[in-house]
Structure 1
Amino acid sequence: MEQYLRETVWRMNPQKSWENTHIKHHIDRRKAKKPFFIQDHIRAMVYSFLSSGIIWTRLEPLIEEHGRIPKIDNIFHQYEVNFVLNSTSDKLYREIQQTVGGTPYLKKQLDALIRTNIPKLQEFEAEYGSIEAYYNTFPTIKDLIRSLSEASSGSPNSKMEQMGIALVSEYLRNVGYDIAKPDRHVRRILGSKRLVLSEKEDAGEYEALKIVEELAKQAGKSVAETDYILWSYCATGYTGICTKSYPNCHVCRVKDRCRYTKS
C-alpha cells in the first residue's frame, strides 16, 4: 500500500505524503519533549472538526508546511483563548464557510468548543498545572480516549461535547499522540469483507485502534503513519482504491489478501 501511494499520489503531490502532515510534525514535537499549550489543543480540536465536517480536498489548497492551515488559524486569531471564548459559533462558522465551506454539524461543534470544551481544558490546566499533566494521569491511551469521548459520572467529567471516539482520536493525534483514528475508511478495510482482520464487517472503534497498533509493530512504523497509509488507500482524493461501493480491485496491491474479490 505504501509503495503504491509513493508511486502515485505522494509522487504527484508531495504535500499529501505522511512526512508533510500536521500529525507527523506534532508526533515528532512530542517525541522531542516540546511542550503543548492550550492554544495547541484548541487548534487540534478545530482541525479535527474540519476533518469530519468538510470535504478534505477543499482544504488542501490552503494547507502549508507541516499541515498548518493559516487561513483557518487566522479566523481563530491563532487560537488566543479569550478571543475564541468571546466569539460566537455563528461568526466563526460563517468565516469558515466563506473560506472552505461547512456543514450544520460543524456549527454545533464550534458551539461546543466555546461553551464546553475550552472551559474544560482550562479546568484541567487550573487543577493539574497543564492539560498534559491531566492527560498523563490516565494509565493507557484507551482510558484517555474513553474519558474524553464517553459520558461518565466520574469527577471531573472529562467528556468533550460533540466529540466521539474517532474525533477524540484525531484531536489527540493533532497534539502528537501516536494513535490511529478509527474512522469509517479504516474500520471498513480492516473488516470481515476486506482484509478480514476483524470478524465484524466494520471493525469496532476500539478494536480498530488495537489492530492498527499491532500492524504498526509488525511493519516497524508509527501507529499514526500506519493508519494514514490505510486511510489514504481508501479515501477519495488520495488513491480511492478501497472505497465502500466501487473499490478499484484491479489496481489493488493487497487484493490477494482481501475477501472482497473472493466474495
Structure 2
Amino acid sequence: MVLFSERYGYKSVRDSLQFECMDDELRTALWNFLCKFPIKSTGLSGTSLIGPTINNYPHHVKKFYIDLWGNFWKRPLDEFNNVLHSPNPYDELRQFFFTCEWYEVYDFLEFFAKKFPLEDSESFNKSANHVLESENSAYRFINSEITPISSEAEIETVEEAIINSPDPVQIHLNEALKLLSNKQSPNLRNSIKESISAVESICNMINGDKSTSLGQALNKMERNNIIQLHGALRRSFSSLYGYANDANGIRHALLEEPNLELEDAKFMLVSCSAFINYLLTKADKSNIKLNKKSDETLEKIFHLLKQTLDDNNIDYSKIIEDFGQVEAAEKREKGYEFTFNEHLKALIYSMLSNRRKWADIVDKLPLIEAIFFNFDPDKLEKCDTEALIDKIREIKCGNMSIYKQIDALPHNIRQLKKIEKEFGSLDTFVIHKSLEEIVKLLSDGKSEYKIKQMGDALALEYLKSVGIRGMKPDVHILRICGPERLDIITAKDTQTQLEEFKNFAESVNVSETYLDNLIWIFGAKGYGEICTANPKCDKCELTNYCNYKN
C-alpha cells in the first residue's frame, strides 16, 4: 500500500531540509567523513581514527581524546586513565556519535574542527560542508562554527503554506520540496518551476480560472478588484515570474542546464510559500472560499468510504433507506408538503438523538410513537410531562437532556403553532430563507422563533427529516471530515462548515443529506464503527487520505 508521504511525494519540511533533525544517512556520512580525514602526525599521515587501542595512535590523537573526555564530555580524567587500559575510547566515541541527539553531532563536529590537529582547517570546513550539502543538511561551517542556513521562520513559512493550501497548490509545493531535497539527484530547475506553479495555481483558484500564467492571473486579480495587491508587491512577483521564464530560466529552456544553485531553489520555495500564505489570508478576508481538496481527491475519498463499508459488510444503502431522510428530500422535491404532525415527529426524534446512540432508539420507534400519542400536538401540549419522561426512561431511550427537552415540549408546540399561523404552514417557514438562516431562527436565543433545547446541530437534524437537504455537524461528521482526519471541513462556525460540506457533496454529485448519512454511518456506534474516537484504521481504505495515521 502506498503511504501518504509516498503518494504526495514528500516528507515533512523539517525532515526534507534536515532542520533541527538528522537522518541516519547524514549521521553516517559525517562519521565516514571524520574517519577518513587525515591526521597530523609524524610517520602516520593518512592514518584514520580507527585502531585497535588508543596506544596505537600518536600523541596528538591521545591528546585529542583527553580533551574530548575532560572538556567535551565533562568526565573525570582519572576515569579516562582507566580506559587507556581497556580497548580504547574510540568505542565510546562511536557509541556516542550514533546515539546522541542531532545537535550533539554538530557540537562534536565543531569541537573536532577546533581541537583535532588538522593540517588545513579551511579544507576541513570545505569538505565537511560538501557532505552537509550533499545530504541536505540545513547547517554549514561558517568561520569554523556550525550555522543554520535555513531559519525557523523559513521552515514555518513553507509548512504553513503546505498545510493550509488547497490540494492543487499543496501538490506543487510538495513536489518542489521533493525535487529540492532529493539527495541522489536534486532537480533544482524543476523545483523552481513547481514553486512558481504553486503560486499560479492559488491565483487561478482565487480568480476562478482553470489555467492562466502568473502574470495574467495577477493582472486579472487587480483588474477585477478580486484581491487588492500592493502595486510594488504585484510587480515584484511579476518580475519573479519573468525570472522563471527568461532565456536562462526555467520554462523556456527546460532541456538546457540552467546555472542554478541550491540556495536559488530554496529561496524560490520560501518566497512562493510566503506569497501563497499572503494570498490565502487576503482571500479569507475577502470572503473567497477555496475548496481545499480537488474534485478528483474528493471523488476518491467518496468511493473509498463506500468501499470500506462494503468490505466490512455494512449495508449502508439499506440503512440510509431506513433513516428516511434522503427519501424525505426526494418527496419534497416532487412537491410533497409535510404535515404539522410530521414536523413535530421530526423535532422530537432530533431531540431524542442528542448524545444518544441512534441504534438504541431505532428498534423502539413504535413504542416511542405510542408514548408521544402518534405526535398529536394537542394531546402533547396538555400531557403530563413527568409521566412522559418516566415512559421514555422506562424503555431506555432517554439522554442527558431528556428532562429539559420534555419539559420544554409544550412551549415548543405552541411555538410551532405560532409559526404555522404566521407563515401559513411549517413547510412554508422552513423554506422561506436559506438553510443557514432557518437554522439560526430555530436555534438562536435572540430569535422570536427559537425552539427551546435546540442548537444548530439538532435544528439541522430536524430539517433533514422534513426533506431539507443539509448536513448535521455532529461529532461523527466533524471528527471524520475535520482537520485531524480527512481535512475536508476546516471551519469552526456552522455556516462555513455547511458550505464546505455542500462543496464536498457537489464534487461527488450526491445530495448533502445522502453524504451526511453515509459519513455518519461510517463512524457511528451500532453501525459502521470504523472511524470512531479510536478508529479502526486496519479496516479502513482511507488511510492514504487521512491525517490520523500519518
The TM-score bracket by the shorter chain reads: 0.7 to 0.9
Distance change (3 Å), C-alpha of 1:191 and 1:42: same
Whole-Å separation in 2 of the counterparts to 1:70 and 1:98: 14
1:159-238 mapped onto 2 (5 Å cutoff): 159-199=450-490, 203-238=492-527
Q: Which amino acid aligns with 1:231?
A: W
Could you tell me whether the CA contact under 8 Å between 2:314 and 2:528 is conserved in 1? Answer: no
Could you tell me whether the CA contact under 8 Å between 2:502 and 2:512 is conserved in 1? Answer: yes
Q: Which residue of 2 aligns with 1:137?
A: 432
Q: Which residue of 2 aligns with 1:4?
A: 308
Whole-Å separation in 1 of the counterparts to 2:473 and 2:496: 9
Does residue 124 in structure 1 map to residue 419 in structure 2? yes
Whole-Å separation in 1 of the counterparts to 2:463 and 2:436: 11
Could you tell me whether the CA contact under 8 Å between 2:443 and 2:451 is conserved in 1? Answer: yes
Whole-Å separation in 1 of the counterparts to 2:355 and 2:398: 6
1:244-259 mapped onto 2 (5 Å cutoff): 244=533, 246-259=534-547
Cα drift, residue 75 of structure 1: 1.1
Cα drift, residue 104 of structure 1: 4.3
Whole-Å separation in 2 of the counterparts to 1:6 and 1:31: 29
Q: Which residue of 2 aligns with 1:45?
A: 347
SS state at 2:326 partner: helix
Could you tell me whether the CA contact under 8 Å between 2:441 and 2:450 is conserved in 1? Answer: yes
Could you tell me whether the CA contact under 8 Å between 1:9 and 1:238 is conserved in 2? Answer: no
Q: Which residue of 1 aligns with 2:440?
A: 146
Cα drift, residue 221 of structure 1: 0.8
Whole-Å separation in 2 of the counterparts to 1:148 and 1:103: 21
Whole-Å separation in 1 of the counterparts to 2:480 and 2:401: 26
Task: Output one character per residue of 1:53-80: Cα deviation in whole Å (capped at 9) or x when no partner.
Answer: 5332222323xxxxxx222111111111
SS state at 1:100 partner: coil
Whole-Å separation in 2 of the counterparts to 1:52 and 1:239: 19
SS state at 1:52 partner: coil
SS state at 2:321 partner: helix
Does residue 90 in structure 1 map to residue 386 in structure 2? yes
Q: Which amino acid aligns with 1:197?
A: I
Could you tell me whether the CA contact under 8 Å between 1:112 and 1:161 is conserved in 2? Answer: yes
Whole-Å separation in 2 of the counterparts to 1:151 and 1:60: 30
Cα drift, residue 253 of structure 1: 1.4
Does residue 103 in structure 1 map to residue 399 in structure 2? yes
Could you tell me whether the CA contact under 8 Å between 1:234 and 1:240 is conserved in 2? Answer: yes
SS state at 2:395 partner: helix
Task: Output one character per residue of 1:166-197: Cα deviation in whole Å (capped at 9) or x when no partner.
Answer: 00000011111111100011112222111122
SS state at 1:260 partner: coil
Whole-Å separation in 2 of the counterparts to 1:14 and 1:195: 22
Q: Which residue of 2 aligns with 1:114?
A: 410
Gaps of 5+ in 2: 1-304
Whole-Å separation in 2 of the counterparts to 1:70 and 1:31: 28
Gaps of 5+ in 1: 63-68
Distance change (3 Å), C-alpha of 1:227 and 1:249: same
Whole-Å separation in 1 of the counterparts to 2:408 and 2:435: 23
Task: Output one character per residue of 1:88-136: Cα deviation in whole Å (capped at 9) or x when no partner.
Answer: 3211111111223313411211211212x11111011112211122233
Could you tell me whether the CA contact under 8 Å between 1:190 and 1:208 is conserved in 2? Answer: no
Could you tell me whether the CA contact under 8 Å between 2:489 and 2:501 is conserved in 1? Answer: no
Cα drift, residue 14 of structure 1: 6.8
Whole-Å separation in 2 of the counterparts to 1:240 and 1:27: 26
Does residue 78 in structure 1 map to residue 374 in structure 2? yes
Whole-Å separation in 1 of the counterparts to 2:415 and 2:362: 31
Distance change (3 Å), C-alpha of 1:88 and 1:6: farther
Could you tell me whether the CA contact under 8 Å between 1:145 and 1:165 is conserved in 2? Answer: yes
Distance change (3 Å), C-alpha of 1:60 and 1:6: farther
Could you tell me whether the CA contact under 8 Å between 1:53 and 1:102 is conserved in 2? Answer: no
Further displaced range: 106-115 or 158-167: 106-115
Could you tell me whether the CA contact under 8 Å between 1:241 and 1:248 is conserved in 2? Answer: yes
Identity %: 28
Whole-Å separation in 2 of the counterparts to 1:54 and 1:194: 23
* Backbone CA RMSD of aligned residues: 1.9
Q: Name the structure, 1 or 2, with higher relative contact order (CA <8 Å, separation 6+).
A: 1
SS state at 1:168 partner: helix
Q: Which amino acid aligns with 2:432?
A: T
Could you tell me whether the CA contact under 8 Å between 2:329 and 2:466 is conserved in 1? Answer: yes
Whole-Å separation in 1 of the counterparts to 2:548 and 2:403: 37
Whole-Å separation in 2 of the counterparts to 1:83 and 1:225: 34
